[in-house]
Amino acid sequence: MTGRRRLLRAGSLVAALLLWQALTSLDVNLWLRFEQFPTAGEVAAELVRRAQRGEYWTDLADSLRRIVTGFALAAVLGVATGTAIARSRLVSDLVGPVLEVLRPIPAIALVPVAILLFPSNEQGIVFITCAAAFFPVLVSTRHAVAALSPVWEEAVLTMGGGRWRVLLSVVLPGALPGIFGGLSVGIGVSWICVISAEMISGEYGVGYRTWQDYTVVDYPGVFVGMATIGALGWLTATAVERLGHRLTAWLPRPATAPAGPPALRRPFPNPGATPPDPRASNAGGAVFEPARRLSAPGAERRNGVRGEAPGNGGRAGRGPAPQGTTTGGTRT
């Protein structure tokens, strides 16, 4: 990423903060009501105050631990299950219908199920986080594996490779771009569900602390929690995308257009334009003629003169041969 793009992204965040500060400071109340919103300065001051206490960092570490554990389980289970469904008709018939029935159920709706199944709230929250990220990874992996060309697999089998060799050398590397697309979606959904689960049944964490601030009408604290969740989600999603780029470095990347004055750039051809005639005159007035066909191999040796066509004894353009001479070995 160039420095100009980084500056543009930072400028967009600064502009959003300035707009927030202006709307809340002026108590704008048109259709949206901003008079009860805390200003950006008040939220920043509250963030600095909480960052000096250990309770804030404890909640942050607890939420991160739940996310990493649940997301790692969802990644392993989702990739394995999606690959098995795409590669095996038997697994698709046995497991596919059950998963399709469970997939539309929101993960946050599984909170009562988690409370009944698991002995502790911590395990239930990890389960909800795993369930939230599992289905995006499953669907993306299934489609990515099913879209692979069978030519690659046949080539490995022709060279003596077995099923494990096909899986490790063809299927998983070829499906990596699609798999990481599902992982990027899954990490965002995981944050949504882990915060919701912490608000409902948690005892600590960023979501739990944010809900407690809301119950005591501490709106700057609520916005601190929201800002913390957004920053953590951005960092984890960026880490997943960077890992995906590193593991798929073998993929061709789109080339960036070279910067420079427009006069120095070569214009793209017009698809509707008529191609130039190669016999057209150039600037000096010379006429380009199509190249003449070369004579058959060995014609020079048969004629005795290099580069002359057979049949005229090397006297092309100089008239007929005089009487008594030989032409190509024949007396005239």
3-class SS of residue 200: helix
Q: What is the dihedral of CA 110, 113, 115, 120, to 10 degrees?
A: -90
Amino acid, res. 94:
L
The answer to whether the CB of 125 falls within 8 A of the CB of 114 is: yes
3-class SS of residue 326: strand
> Going residue by residue through the chain (332 aa), what tens digit of pLDDT does each one get?
688 888 998 899 999 999 989 988 888 888 888 888 899 999 999 999 999 988 999 999 999 999 999 999 999 999 999 999 999 999 999 999 999 999 999 888 888 888 889 988 889 999 999 999 999 999 999 999 998 888 888 888 888 888 888 888 888 888 999 999 999 999 999 999 989 888 887 778 899 999 999 998 899 999 999 999 999 999 999 999 999 888 888 777 665 544 444 444 444 455 455 555 555 544 444 444 444 444 444 444 444 444 444 444 444 444 454 444 444 444 44
Query: In the chain, what is the straight-line distance between the N-terminal and C-terminal CA atoms, in Å?
Result: 81
Q: Which residues on neighbouring strands pair with residue 118, listed in sequence order?
A: none
Mention every residue, 6+ apart, whose C-beta is less than 8 A from residue 34. Answer: 23, 24, 26, 27, 28
Per-residue exposure over 293-321, b if at least 16 CB sit within 10 Å of its own CB, e if not: eeeeeebbeebeeeebeeebbbeeeeeee
The β-bridge relationship of strands 330-331 and 326-327 is antiparallel
Q: Which residues on neighbouring strands pair with residue 116, listed in sequence order?
A: none
d(CA 287, CA 269): 24
User: Could you tell me where the beta strands, DSSP code E, fall in the chain?
Assistant: 326-327, 330-331
Q: Which two tokens stand for residue 127?
A: 């389960």
Please state, as a whole number, how many other Cβ atoms lie within 10 Å of the Cβ of residue 138.
23
3-class SS of residue 316: coil
At residue 47, the pLDDT reads: 93
